[in-house]
Amino acid sequence: MQKRKLGNSNLEVSAIGLGCMGMSFSYGPPKDKEEMTSLLRTAVERGITFFDTAEIYGPFTNEELVGDALSPLRDQVVIATKFGFDTRIDPRGTSGAPRLNSRPEHIKQVAEASLKRLKIDVIDLFYQHRVDPEVPIEDVAGAVKALIQEGKVRHFGLSEAGVQTIRRAHAVQPVTALQSEYSLWWRRPEAEILPTLEELGIGLVPYSPLGKGFLTGKIDADATFDSSDFRSTLPRFTPDALKANHALVDLLGKIAARKHATAAQIALAWLLAQKPWIVPIPGTTKLHRLDENIGAVAVDLTPDDLGEIATAAAQIAVQGDRYPERLERMTGR
């Protein structure tokens, strides 16, 4: 497995990481713990060193799964987790978006609890999950800086933050990575976020690099989602939107056939080709999908391939918002 460094930091990780959320949360009922433990350990055997979780995934159960599975392999892995939500509020509740809480004292409490659940002595990368408009980002960065000085955290990250927030945080404690959605069907980061990250020497960790499964080509307009699958609430996953957006999957399939690859591998290879400091974290609960995603690292997209994708993608207007309004409001702050 190739390695990459996140921005100007010394944090080196596998070129593709593993998003662990779906093993416990958001994509239907939690998966079997023994099967997921085996998958996580197999990922390490296959060369993946970068694993992403958060206290809100469950809450808590995903961190516990990752901790139990990876603690015997601690010296081989980089573990990222997140703070920023009030876990006393059900994150899957229908009353509205989860309540944010990035008060410095809460950040410290989350760090201590996450260390125990993950069975580690230091959190490799600690992200603010969503920007809290009630807490100055300087206070948030200062709280993580204190944890770094105490030896409980190694690197500071942000998720779905806006440009000014990134700059303000970085001035207090250097930001190692920004985790935000980025893929062929969500390219908004290209306008302002990517140039800012390049200027400041910050890595990008794209989540949902396969469009929450859509870019694999395995979801068509007739797809239905259980109420425990959060895609059932997303405007982009309505039948009309799925049908309209299939042109993007057709494009990936065309390139994939020529490259003897899959649509998912082309989507991931496209991300890897954008910048050397981009490390996508596709999630999966299946071994054959894990192997497929890892195979994307070996797919070589030439400048002509990338130009063809860019030209064709520019003619495809993706339909549907990526989140309901209440969740979209929590991004880009």
pLDDT tens by residue, 173-212: 999 999 999 999 999 999 999 999 999 999 999 999 999 9
Q: Facing residues of 178 across strands? A: 158, 204
- Asked if residue 148 belongs to a domain, the reply is yes
Q: State the pLDDT at residue 302.
A: 96
Whether 79 shows a pLDDT value over 60: the answer reads yes
pLDDT for 251: 94
Contact 20, 40 (CB under 8 A): yes
Give the lowest-confidence range in 128-142, 174-188, 220-234, 272-286: 220-234
Residue 269 has pLDDT above 80, yes or no: yes
Q: 171 to each of 55, 138, 141, how far by Cα in Å?
A: 26, 8, 9
Q: How many other β-carbons are positioned within 10 Å of the β-carbon of residue 255? A: 22
What pLDDT score was predicted for residue 88?
74
Give the pLDDT of residue 87.
Answer: 84
- Does residue 201 lie within any of the structural domains? yes
Q: Which residues of 145-180 are buried (b: 16+ CB within 10 A; e: fewer)?
A: ebbbeeebbbbbbbbbbbeebbebbbebbbbbbbbb
Burial per residue of 293-331, b for 16 or more beta-carbon CB atoms within 10 angstroms, e otherwise: bbbbbebebeeebeebbeebbeebebbeebbeeebeebb
CA distance 118 to 122: 9
The structure tokens listed for 309 are: 């994708």
Mean pLDDT of all residues in 113-137 = 98
The answer to whether position 304 is within a domain reads no
Is residue 328 domain-resident?
no
DSSP symbol at 278: B
Whether pLDDT at 95 is above 80: no
- Do the Cβ atoms of 50 and 24 come closer than 8 Å? no
Residue 134 reports pLDDT greater than 80: yes
Whether the per-residue pLDDT at 90 is higher than 90: the answer is no
Instruction: Tell me the pTM.
Output: 0.96
Give the domain CATH number at 161: 3.20.20.100
What is the Cα gyration radius of the chain? 19
First to last CA, the chain: 35
Looking at residue 94, its pLDDT comes to 44
C-alpha–C-alpha distance, residues 304 and 47, integer Å: 30
Task: Answer yes or no: is pLDDT of 89 > 70.
Answer: no
Task: Please report whether residue 289 resides in a domain.
Answer: yes
The total number of structural domains that make up the chain = 1
Query: Does an H or E element contain 75, and which?
Result: none
Domain that holds residue 55: 3-211+274-298
The least confident of 25-39, 79-93, 199-213, 310-324 is 79-93
Is 28 inside a domain boundary?
yes
pLDDT at 84: 98
Mean pLDDT of 123-127: 98
Residue 149 lies in a domain: yes
The phi and psi torsions of 13 (rounded to 5 degrees) equal -140, 165
- The residue annotated as part of the active site, out of 27, 57, 127, 182, is 57
What percent of the chain is modeled with pLDDT above 70? 97
57 is catalytic: yes
pLDDT digits (tens, 9 = 90+) for 303-328: 999 999 999 999 999 999 999 998 99
30 pLDDT exceeds 90?
yes
Band of residue 96 on the pLDDT scale cut at 50, 70, 90: low
Is the pLDDT confidence value at 288 over 80?
A: yes
Largest CA distance in the chain: 54
Confirm whether 264 is domain-assigned: no
Tell me the mean pLDDT in the region 61-85: 98
Please give the pLDDT value at position 91. Answer: 52
Q: Mean pLDDT score of the chain, rounded to an integer?
A: 95
The two structure tokens encoding residue 247 = 């042109």
